[in-house]
Amino acid sequence: MNICDLRMSLQVDTVGREMYQFISDLYPICRSITGNGFRETLHNIQRHMPLEIHEIATGSQVFDWTVPKEWNIRDAYVKNSRGERIIDFRKSNLHVVNYSVPIRKKMSLSELKEHLFTLPDHPDWIPYRTSYYKESWGFCLSHKQWSALEDEEYEVYIDASLENGHLTYGECYFQGNELNEVLISCHACHPSLCNDNLSGIALAVFLAKYLHSLPLRYSYRFLFIPGTIGSITWLCLNEHQVSKIKHGLVLANVGDSGSSTYKKSRRSDAEIDRAAIHVLKHCGEDYEIVDFSPYGYDERQFCSPAFNLPVGCLMRTPHGCFPEYHTSADNLDLVQPSYLANSFLKCLSVLSVLENNLTYINKNPKCEPQLGKRGLYRAIGGPEGDVDELAMLWVLNLSDGSHSLLDIATQSGYPFEMIQRAANVLQEHSLLKEQSL
């Protein structure tokens, strides 16, 4: 069974349900860019795939950055004068500004309000806020709840620690025929947010799980890292070997109902860009292609000028473009098994193009070879074209050493699989050989 067979035989519905269940399991954990929530998440992933867990000490220099203190939180609340927990971390980990320093203090409403964040336009939703690089504390709550706060004394309590420790990330590598690598990266630092980015984590995990046992051309590297500081740390530690990365995808927001979006790498016409665009163009659904920009997810770091890696980003609705983004409404209702499965299949299709995008040489380049005597041509000439025959003619005509199968698919307008099948048949009949052989 190879990657094409997998694509054909896959029980897509089952994969979608499994991904959704995995998201449901991880949803309650309070993750951050460091700390035990992140570790617990990696341990969950290890139940599905082999994963090496790396711990980098606080204070380590990683390029222009410093690995921050480790943050852990146990409990947090705001109590009113009657001692009721009116904001309660146990109800939603979004209630606490992520990376808040510990505090235990009584204060008036007006003092408290300087530390409260709401979304007036979505009065029922809790926003998601962070304060990674400035020591601070705060609570997030629905605007409706905020509006009902009375002018009394409140007790504020955050039982958190921000201390020397480690930054944690997970890495999985399995070797293919080549040492050239495909990098799959996702940020795993967000607390209870489903689309952003438990969906990306789930997609990476299930890709690894299914690809792991297949014979593959490329080696594969999966990263589960905290956003920004994680990719910076990984790039700093692995600077000597990034040249092996021939293609890469950052996965994020792949579970919502929006159409698929591919954000190009900084190079804009890398093979991963052309493969992803080809797959979306032929998927029969709406899709968006967006140019590279230096914000979004970790492609920012992979595509920084000194690295400029061929890494694009596969999403459904992009970051900041769905109203539930970075709010409590990015929950288990926003992502659905069918969208997750659809993203999985598209991602697999992209990888299948990369795996099979070889360049062939027509062994018979002077005029067409006689397909008929090899049983590759309809016997009675008539007006109906046999599409696979035309695909064979395209492959023969363009296999001059300067066109890969993806180039041929693009120029002919045929789906990659049809061109690949035609190439396989021609190779079986000794009409084609691989360029490198």
Shortest reach from residue 267's CB to its own copies, in Å: 12
Residue 98 DSSP symbol: B
Least Å distance between CB 306 and its own copies? 4
State which residue, 135 or 285, has the beta carbon closest to its own copies: 135
Q: CB 136 → its own copies: shortest distance, Å?
A: 7
Enumerate residues 6+ apart whose C-beta is below 8 A from 1: 9, 214
Could you tell me which residues come within 8 angstroms of residue 115 by beta carbon, excluding any fewer than 6 positions away? 97, 137, 138, 139, 156
Minimum Å gap between C-beta 409 and its own copies is: 14
Query: Can you read off the two tokens belonging to residue 175?
Result: 């070797």
* For its own copies, the closer CB: 28 or 365: 365
Is the Cβ of residue 284 or residue 385 nearer to its own copies in the bound state?
A: 385
Name which of 296 and 337 has its Cβ closer to its own copies: 296
What letter would DSSP give residue 124? T
**CA-to-CA distance for 149 and 125, rounded, in angstroms?**
16
């292609």: which residue's tokens?
289
Cite the beta strand spans of 238-358 per DSSP E. 245-251, 260-263, 287-290, 311-315
Q: How far is CA 118 from CA 124, 145, 418, in A?
A: 9, 9, 52
Considering the complex, state which of residue 93 and residue 343 has its C-beta at the smaller distance from its own copies: 93
To its own copies, the closest distance from the beta carbon of 375 in angstroms equals 10
Closer residue to its own copies in complex, CB, 284/383 = 383
Binding site for its own copies (CB under 8 A): 63-65, 97, 117, 127, 129-134, 136, 138, 228, 231-232, 235-236, 239, 266, 293-295, 300-301, 303-308, 320, 325-326, 362, 364-370, 372-373, 377, 379-383, 385, 390, 393-394, 396-400, 412
CB of 260 to its own copies, least distance (A): 22
List residues bridging with 182 in a β-sheet: 220, 247
Helix axes 416-428, 387-398, angle to 10 degrees: 80
